[in-house]
Structure 1
Amino acid sequence: MTVGLEQSNLFKPITIGKNTLDQRVAFAPTTRFRAADDHTPSDLMLQYYSDRAQAPGSLLITEATFISPRAGLYPNIPGIWNEKHVQGWKKITDAVHAKGSYMACQFWFLGRVGSPELLKKHGLDLISPSALYESEESKKAAEAAGNPVRALTEKEIKGIIYEDYKNAAINAMEAGFDYVEIHSAHGYMLDQFLQPATNQRTDNYGGSIEKRARIVLEIIDLLSDTIGAEKLAIRLSPWAKFQGMKAEQDTVHPITTFSYVVNELQKRANNGKQLAYLSLVEPRVQGNLDVNTSDIVGSNDFIKKLWKGAILQSGNYTYDSPEFKLLKADVNGDNRTMIGFSRYFTSNPDLIDRLKKGLELTPYVRSLFYATNNYGYNTFANYGKELQFDPKKEEKRRPVSLI
């Protein structure tokens, strides 16, 4: 046992939108493949999120959630596009609220890194800002599925914004979510639009920075009017080279692109449409992997100079535990920063209490992250407790729809 973080800003209240959180630890999104086969939230997910809401006044952000069928598809990922999904999520948000905590739904659109096979099965195309593949392997997979990537038309882009995103936002409110977080990071669809490595369009949604950022800002403006800016957030990863993004290798430097986006968000805040928070992925992490210290490029400090509102920073804040020097520096450096944890929240359902008291963290098991059973999901205990279960039985326990 070491000295905990109770005296740091991490355990001071913070106002996010219209809610006041009791601490500044957030459960960052973790893709975990435990939804039912029809993308409805499952019994396994209900326990998972409920257990991680045990410290009152916490913020939990869902795993990335599909806003429509054409936004995917990966198997056993939750959706938020139909009534069954809404009712399933409502059981989870009710459980989280019963523990005094709050929940955001992260909206996901895969774009060119979707599953060509599953999309084909549902009569859907593999779509992207431009007809460019992430890799030679993804090209082969798409061609083998008979579903080559193609560029979206402007009419389709409008449909995605004004139909898919709007429907999902309305559904999220009906499902009881406190916030919606727009996933615009890690080489998925909106990030593909932002970055010239993946956007070679010459119409209203490509070319200049203003045009590349148009889809993101249109979504922000629409959803600000639909559910309220104070319930809306966005996630950005300016330095990530995950899934074929080239970051600093592009002719347009990421600071230029992302400064424009953040400036536009701040302009809206100045005019009374302040987002709940801005979620930033630190350059120490690329998607689901850590970056070697010698290979880390860039800093998000430029965004913190431009954005005046609340910030959620995520990305390997446990590498120097139990000292947590970097975490302390970031959370104590101002009065508006939250720190996101994901992998260690998987293996420590009581992570907030452990950080507060300086208790040892249970190591996570990466090989169990993306299974579709309960083993390695709801089989981690609070500190000092021991769960009784049969590993073989839990390995066979598949997710069951809540509805």
Structure 2
Amino acid sequence: MRVVLSTYGSRGDVEPLVGLAVRLREQGAEVRVCAPPDEEFAERLAGVGVEMVPVGLSARELTTAAAQPKSLPERAAELIASQLDAVTAAAEGCDALVATGMMPAVAGARSVAEKLGVPSVSVTFQQLTLPSPHHAPLAYPGRPFPPEVTDNSVLWDLDARSIDVLFGDAVNSNRASIGLPPVAGVRDYVIGDRPWLATDPVLDPWRPAGGAGFGFDVVQTGAWILPDERPLPDGLSEFLGAGAPPVYVGFGSMPMHGSDDVARVAIEAVRAQGRRVLVRRGWADLDLIDDQDDCFVVGEVNQQALFRRVAAVVHHGGAGTTTTAARAGGPQVVVPQATDQPYWAGRVADLGIGVAHDGPTPTFASLSAALRVALAPETRDGAAAVAAAIIDDGAAVAAKLVLCLK
């Protein structure tokens, strides 16, 4: 069986596909991954022996660019066109297609599957893009919902209209270019009748929706995480072994404007708790602020192994980092920047495994207060209890479901 996995987004959109690709190969499938042409994505997939087909522009360059002169609909049209070109070539003769990432990218990939007559499924790594009476949708930049509207059913209707305004022309003009009819609603086309939610049910419990307008069936597979066997770099291992467990600070694929100030605030706040500091560069290019030996900086690293050896994890609240820290039993301080990150911050706080920082810009006072809670013994006990309840086989579950799509 030949399977194409398609995404466009940050590391958090690519990493789960690494786990699924490996599990599919274990079942005898041939797998290709369509993803942005960033070097770190290519290296990660090459490291597990999975072929990557580059699609579109670099995700990092797009995310960290100082100015974005193009509108969201313009960028969506270009992204969908790149999907039609690259994914079509990759999917010729395949038996199933799994689509995830930004909504226009999923629309493009599913359109390719439709054109080729290939079964496909839409996957999300957080539930906030799935219509439900139990939560509100995420608002797109520049298109806030009316503050007086609080009924979730109404908000989801507004969400569908907003998505059609933003992406409808881009989706349907590209579909017309390959001989497909227009879709009446972009969001419902992207989601389909039976979308998959690739998150852990302890961290992200899905409640069946039901009721008018919420009639699709969500399949929650568990998070797609591949056990990472990579050793920690020698210098990092030496630093970890030279003293008490440090506090990790890293913001993943978030650019974090004013990163010099963020690094200074974080390092000084951690030091004020009497702790050593481990800084992850990430897309924010965080760095050390002096040459004291209580701090260490790392780049790409095995977070699964690392998070088991730190006192707490300060991060942006991406689904992958939140899940990895939770599986490791590490207390968390989530400083949410955008999109679904405030949701994950809230889940961390609700579960008692860490702190949701108020807003995207930490100060010495605010981060110090959060760290005092995260480093308390009761928080670590809560984190350990949740870690024991998390499901580890989400990618294996999904791989078996993919094989049934044929």
TM-score, length-scaled by structure 1: 0.30
TM-score, length-scaled by structure 2: 0.30
Greater CA radius of gyration, 1 or 2? 2
Structure with the largest fraction of helix: 2
With a CA cutoff of 8 Å and minimum separation of 6, indicate the structure with the bigger relative contact order.
1
